[in-house]
């Protein structure tokens, strides 16, 4: 049988023939001369500028093949008769790619559609070598690649009325009308769907096209462009049909922090929802589905609502794009504006807004008049954006303070508290430190929190103060039980505990927040899931897991096998996080990328992820004092599919979450696929290692290090919640 790439090449040719495409753009796999795509017998060959030695060889090969070879001009050379190009792909290097693409498409059109047109300087096969191609004037359709949807939506279906439309769209209509009439099967007959009719999956696909990475947005660049960023956010907000004044109607509670801000928001939202208010809750990131980021009354908005509001916002931004230099906003900015739009349209009584990163420069900080602000526990995270000291990070977090708006925080490291005090004074903002949760219990029974873990107690205290203050300011302004201070009395004050109402107590008990100190029991297998990814959150995770797992083990009828499933992403110090997990005494440590299911082949990104997993495995062995094996772990490939890797008796590396879970559970969890139908082949020696898992009465699995890892696991473990 043929290899993976050869099969895909033949499959592609077959698909294109069966689907009767007008043309096929074929990318070479590796090299060219011996690549299996080189079975193609006809084509043509422009090139971009190359190193001199490479150009000499290309010239020689062109002469050998009797092939006319041209060097493409610079992209600027095309701009004599038209405005500067706006490329859909960012980066200076894309300009040479765009020039090459113009020559390829122009030459194809000339040779395939308009052979009588002499504007393209054809040469005979005797005139071989390297020629400098002259730039031509690109057609409007070449320049404006995003013209297609608008062009098709406005195109009438009757052929006799298509010609005038084409004439109106093209600057040289006779040439391009002939192209449309002679060639494109879809060019003038297919109508792109109107935006209001777009489906949910169309929205998800479009969302993925928005920029998601921070790129070179380092701390210095972010600070330099602070005003520009907020101005840009206001501009995007207005383009979406919203104003900052409208946001004041949302009665916002604004929360930031390093560890616990999401849990604090969840507690706060549940308490106020328990009081009968219609709540909006905006958080990030999502675990499984993007809709989780925007919640109404505690539930992610449904697909129908998401689709409706997505296209309303995206449509307005897209319509105004050309008037603003073709700019579209980034992924997080779009979601923030979408959340505001949803909450306004759904007429929520209040909105709990979780900051994305930092505070001062976060796009949620376009909020002018929150009712109350909160800062959860601070630690070191996102150092490339926020800085590498607790003081710098506290400076960013304190940026959400607003003049005269009450703000609350939990106990912080001394340096962080000094900075928060300074920021509060600078902003004329009254700042209080929340009491311990035990201090509230003088007049009521001990709290039962819906979120497990000792660290959740400070989050619950912060949530009590935020919800209590919101109720006082929004609903009961005449009630003097809350010790308001004037804006002149700024600084840090110790807040006195109050007696929580029964509704507040119930709200704390009813709070759910998936992926944070979450326990799922599936028969003999118990999963402990926590997206801890900072030093302080991992410390809290270790305490929670040790206590909770010990309670489960005391009730077990036999021996328990402990397994760690770990991954870390971004700039996290995985070695430092793993060091904290060593005292948990795992029988196995398993590592995998945060990929829910295996891909058909191992691309460069996945290979990099696997390499990082191998680094994590080495760190684990180092911290376990098992010595350093210089041979490392080999990723074994069989038929272009990865085999599970092995190193020592207690560690394994898998290429995806599902394959890792299948091996760990050994068919003892009905939620997972039968291990006999494995997604990846597993070596016999790896199967043999699983004997302790098969013999154990129960298997306890801690999944931690990344919210993306936890989300990928929940996709397989809690299918009822994430259909």
Place of tokens 């299948």: 662
Contact yes or no for 374/401 (Cβ under 8 A): no
Of 316 and 116, the structure prediction assigns the larger pLDDT to 316
Given a cut of 90, whether residue 705 has pLDDT beyond it is yes
- pLDDT (0 to 100) of residue 719: 80
Section 410-426 average pLDDT: 95
Alpha carbons 466 and 267: distance in angstroms, whole number: 10
673 pLDDT tier (thresholds 50, 70, 90): low
Beta-carbon contacts of 19 under 8 Å, excluding residues fewer than 6 positions away, are none
> Percent of the chain beyond pLDDT 70?
75
- How far from 322 is each of 16, 319, 326, 558, CA to CA, in Å? 34, 7, 5, 67
| Highest-pLDDT range among 39-53, 334-348, 355-369, 535-549 | 334-348
255 pLDDT tier (thresholds 50, 70, 90): very high
Section 97-118 average pLDDT: 73
**Strand order of the sheet with strand 45-47?**
45-47, 68-71, 129-132
Alpha carbons 587 and 601: distance in angstroms, whole number: 31
Contact yes or no for 656/664 (Cβ under 8 A): no
| Highest-pLDDT range among 121-125, 491-495, 700-704 | 700-704
Place of tokens 């706060």: 268
Contact yes or no for 370/304 (Cβ under 8 A): no
- pLDDT (0 to 100) of residue 496: 81
Asked which of 93-97, 117-121, 168-172, 210-214 is least confident by mean pLDDT, the reply is 168-172
Alpha carbons 723 and 719: distance in angstroms, whole number: 6
325 pLDDT tier (thresholds 50, 70, 90): confident
Section 106-112 average pLDDT: 74
Please provide the size of the chain in residues: 723
Q: Return the CATH class of domain 518-717.
A: alpha beta
DSSP letter string, 440-495: GGGSSPPP--SS-STTHHHHHHHHHHHHHHHHHHHT-TT---S----TTS-EEEEP
Of 7 and 213, the structure prediction assigns the larger pLDDT to 7
For residue 27, is it left (φ>0), alpha (ψ between -120 and 50) or beta? beta
Section 481-498 average pLDDT: 59
Alpha carbons 41 and 109: distance in angstroms, whole number: 19
Asked which of 133-137, 299-303, 321-325, 521-525 is least confident by mean pLDDT, the reply is 133-137
Pairing of strands 698-704, 560-566: parallel
Given a cut of 60, whether residue 121 has pLDDT beyond it is no
Contact yes or no for 491/425 (Cβ under 8 A): yes
The percent of the chain in helix, strand and coil, each rounded to the nearest 5, is 45, 10, 40
Residue 606 neighbours by CB distance under 10 Å: 17
Given a cut of 70, whether residue 430 has pLDDT beyond it is yes
Tell me the pLDDT of the chain averaged across its residues.
80
**Model pLDDT for residues 263-274, shown as the tens digit of each residue:** 999 999 999 999
- pLDDT (0 to 100) of residue 240: 94
Alpha carbons 499 and 434: distance in angstroms, whole number: 14
Beta-carbon contacts of 167 under 8 Å, excluding residues fewer than 6 positions away, are 173, 177
520 pLDDT tier (thresholds 50, 70, 90): very high
Place of tokens 């898992």: 693
- pLDDT (0 to 100) of residue 189: 29
Place of tokens 């992209």: 75
Contact yes or no for 86/324 (Cβ under 8 A): no
- pLDDT (0 to 100) of residue 53: 82
Domain layout of the chain by residue ranges: 1-41, 146-192, 219-510, 518-717
Beta-carbon contacts of 450 under 8 Å, excluding residues fewer than 6 positions away, are 270, 508, 509, 510, 511, 512, 513
Supply the pTM of this predicted model: 0.68
Residue 279 neighbours by CB distance under 10 Å: 23
151 pLDDT tier (thresholds 50, 70, 90): very low
- pLDDT (0 to 100) of residue 627: 42
Tokens (6 digits) for 654:
């898998």
* Secondary structure of residue 375 in the 3-state scheme: strand
Task: Fill in the DSSP letter of residue 355.
Answer: -
| Highest-pLDDT range among 2-11, 75-84, 89-98, 359-368 | 359-368
Contact yes or no for 387/219 (Cβ under 8 A): yes
Task: Fill in the DSSP letter of residue 133.
Answer: P
Half-sphere exposure of 446 (CA within 13 A, CB side): 2
Tokens (6 digits) for 251:
């009665």
Contact yes or no for 367/353 (Cβ under 8 A): yes
602 pLDDT tier (thresholds 50, 70, 90): low
Given a cut of 60, whether residue 126 has pLDDT beyond it is no
Asked which of 93-102, 169-178, 621-630 is least confident by mean pLDDT, the reply is 169-178
Q: Return the CATH class of domain 219-510.
A: alpha beta
Judged on CB neighbours under 10 Å (0-12, 13-18, 19+), 207 is middle
Given a cut of 80, whether residue 666 has pLDDT beyond it is yes
Place of tokens 């005449």: 478
Alpha helices by DSSP H, 113-212:
140-143, 147-154, 162-169, 173-182, 200-208
Contact yes or no for 364/353 (Cβ under 8 A): yes
Contact yes or no for 420/375 (Cβ under 8 A): yes
Contact yes or no for 709/658 (Cβ under 8 A): no
Alpha carbons 237 and 232: distance in angstroms, whole number: 8
Task: Fill in the DSSP letter of residue 677.
Answer: G
Alpha carbons 317 and 330: distance in angstroms, whole number: 12
* Secondary structure of residue 284 in the 3-state scheme: coil
604 pLDDT tier (thresholds 50, 70, 90): low
- How far from 643 is each of 141, 361, 447, 654, CA to CA, in Å? 47, 45, 49, 8
303 pLDDT tier (thresholds 50, 70, 90): very high
Alpha carbons 638 and 217: distance in angstroms, whole number: 41
Section 483-504 average pLDDT: 69
447 pLDDT tier (thresholds 50, 70, 90): confident
Task: Fill in the DSSP letter of residue 251.
Answer: -
- pLDDT (0 to 100) of residue 40: 76
**Model pLDDT for residues 523-556, shown as the tens digit of each residue:** 999 999 999 998 989 999 999 999 999 999 998 8
Tokens (6 digits) for 85:
């190009």
- pLDDT (0 to 100) of residue 123: 40
- pLDDT (0 to 100) of residue 90: 74
Given a cut of 70, whether residue 640 has pLDDT beyond it is no
Tokens (6 digits) for 259:
């560890």
- pLDDT (0 to 100) of residue 242: 95
- How far from 586 is each of 184, 201, 242, 476, 530, CA to CA, in Å? 62, 41, 52, 52, 16
Given a cut of 60, whether residue 147 has pLDDT beyond it is no
**Model pLDDT for residues 42-98, shown as the tens digit of each residue:** 555 566 678 888 888 888 888 877 778 878 888 877 754 555 677 878 778 888 888
- pLDDT (0 to 100) of residue 109: 76
Asked which of 104-118, 152-166, 264-278, 282-296 is least confident by mean pLDDT, the reply is 152-166
Alpha carbons 340 and 317: distance in angstroms, whole number: 15
Judged on CB neighbours under 10 Å (0-12, 13-18, 19+), 670 is exposed
Alpha carbons 322 and 324: distance in angstroms, whole number: 5
442 pLDDT tier (thresholds 50, 70, 90): low
Contact yes or no for 318/211 (Cβ under 8 A): no
Alpha carbons 299 and 585: distance in angstroms, whole number: 37
> Percent of the chain beyond pLDDT 90?
46
Given a cut of 90, whether residue 630 has pLDDT beyond it is no
Given a cut of 60, whether residue 482 has pLDDT beyond it is no
For residue 514, is it left (φ>0), alpha (ψ between -120 and 50) or beta? beta
Given a cut of 60, whether residue 254 has pLDDT beyond it is yes
- pLDDT (0 to 100) of residue 460: 97
Paired with 57 in beta bridges are none
- pLDDT (0 to 100) of residue 566: 97
Section 365-374 average pLDDT: 96
Alpha carbons 590 and 527: distance in angstroms, whole number: 14
- pLDDT (0 to 100) of residue 231: 81
- pLDDT (0 to 100) of residue 559: 92
Segment (H or E) for 528: strand 525-530
Section 694-708 average pLDDT: 95
Residue 633 neighbours by CB distance under 10 Å: 19
Beta-carbon contacts of 365 under 8 Å, excluding residues fewer than 6 positions away, are 230, 355, 359, 399, 400
Contact yes or no for 700/553 (Cβ under 8 A): yes
Tokens (6 digits) for 458:
């400070």
Our CA angle for 249, 255, 259, nearest 5°, is: 160
């Amino acid at each position: 049988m043929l290899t993976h790439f050869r099969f895909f090449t033949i499959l592609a040719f077959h698909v294109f023939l069966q689907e009767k495409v007008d043309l096929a753009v074929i990318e070479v796999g590796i090299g060219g001369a011996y690549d299996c795509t080189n079975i193609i017998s006809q084509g043509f060959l422009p090139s971009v500028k190359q190193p001199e030695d490479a150009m000499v060889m290309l010239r020689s090969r062109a002469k050998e093949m009797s092939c006319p070879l041209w060097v493409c001009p610079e992209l600027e050379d095309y701009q004599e008769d038209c405005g500067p190009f706006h490329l859909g792909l960012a980066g200076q290097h894309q300009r040479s790619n765009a020039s090459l693409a113009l020559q390829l498409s122009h030459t194809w059109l000339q040779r395939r559609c308009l052979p009588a047109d002499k504007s393209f300087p054809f040469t005979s096969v005797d005139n071989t070598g390297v020629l400098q191609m002259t730039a031509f004037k690109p057609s409007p359709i070449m320049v404006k690649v995003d013209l297609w949807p608008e062009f098709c939506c406005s195109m009438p279906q009757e052929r006799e009325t298509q010609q005038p439309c084409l004439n109106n769209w093209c600057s040289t209509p006779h040439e391009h009308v002939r192209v449309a009439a002679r060639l494109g099967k879809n060019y003038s007959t297919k109508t792109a769907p109107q935006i209001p009719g777009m489906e949910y999956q169309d929205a998800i696909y479009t969302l993925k096209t928005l920029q998601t990475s921070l790129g070179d947005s380092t701390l210095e660049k972010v600070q330099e462009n602070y005003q520009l960023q907020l101005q840009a956010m206001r501009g995007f907000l207005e383009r979406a049909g919203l104003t900052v004044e409208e946001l004041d109607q949302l009665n916002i509670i604004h929360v930031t922090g390093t560890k616990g801000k999401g849990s604090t928001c969840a507690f706060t939202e549940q308490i106020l929802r328990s009081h009968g208010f219609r709540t909006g809750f905006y958080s990030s990131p999502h675990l499984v589905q993007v809709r989780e980021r925007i919640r109404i009354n505690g539930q992610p908005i449904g697909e129908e609502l998401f689709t409706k509001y997505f296209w309303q916002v995206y449509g307005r931004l897209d319509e105004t794009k050309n008037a603003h230099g073709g700019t579209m906003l980034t992924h997080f900015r779009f979601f923030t504006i979408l959340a505001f739009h949803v909450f306004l349209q759904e007429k929520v009584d209040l909105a709990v807004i979780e900051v994305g990163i930092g505070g001062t420069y976060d796009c949620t900080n376009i909020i002018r008049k929150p009712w109350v602000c909160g800062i959860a526990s601070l630690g070191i995270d996102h150092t490339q954006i926020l800085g590498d000291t607790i003081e710098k990070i506290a400076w960013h977090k304190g940026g959400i303070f607003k003049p005269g708006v009450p703000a609350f925080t939990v106990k912080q490291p001394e340096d962080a508290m000094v900075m928060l005090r300074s920021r509060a004074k600078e902003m004329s903002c009254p700042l209080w430190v929340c009491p311990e949760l035990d201090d509230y219990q003088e007049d009521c029974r001990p709290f039962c929190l819906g979120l497990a873990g000792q660290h959740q107690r400070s989050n619950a205290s912060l949530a009590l103060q935020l919800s209590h203050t919101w109720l006082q300011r929004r609903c009961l302004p005449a009630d003097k039980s809350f010790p308001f201070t004037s804006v002149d009395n700024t600084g840090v004050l110790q807040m006195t505990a109050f007696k929580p109402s029964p509704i507040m107590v119930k709200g704390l008990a009813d709070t759910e927040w998936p992926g944070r100190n979450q326990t799922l029991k599936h028969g003999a297998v118990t999963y402990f899931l926590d997206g801890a990814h900072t030093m302080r959150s991992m410390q809290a995770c270790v305490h929670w897991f040790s206590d909770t797992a010990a309670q489960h083990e005391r009730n077990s009828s036999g021996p328990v096998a402990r397994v760690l499933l770990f991954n870390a992403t971004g700039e996290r110090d995985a070695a430092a996080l793993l060091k904290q997990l060593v005292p948990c005494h795992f029988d196995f440590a398993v590592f995998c990328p945060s990929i829910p299911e295996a891909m058909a082949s191992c691309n460069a990104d996945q290979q990099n992820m696997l390499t990082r997993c191998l680094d994590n495995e080495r760190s684990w062995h180092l911290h376990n004092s098992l010595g350093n094996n210089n041979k490392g772990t080999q990723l074994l490939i069989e038929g272009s599919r990865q085999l599970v890797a092995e190193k020592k008796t207690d560690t394994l590396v898998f290429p995806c979450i599902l394959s890792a879970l299948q091996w760990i559970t050994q068919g003892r969890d009905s939620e997972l696929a039968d291990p006999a139908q494995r997604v990846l082949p597993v070596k016999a020696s790896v199967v043999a290692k699983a004997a302790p898992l098969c013999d154990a009465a129960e298997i306890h699995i801690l999944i931690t290090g990344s919210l993306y890892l936890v989300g990928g696991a929940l996709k397989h473990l809690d299918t009822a919640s994430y259909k």
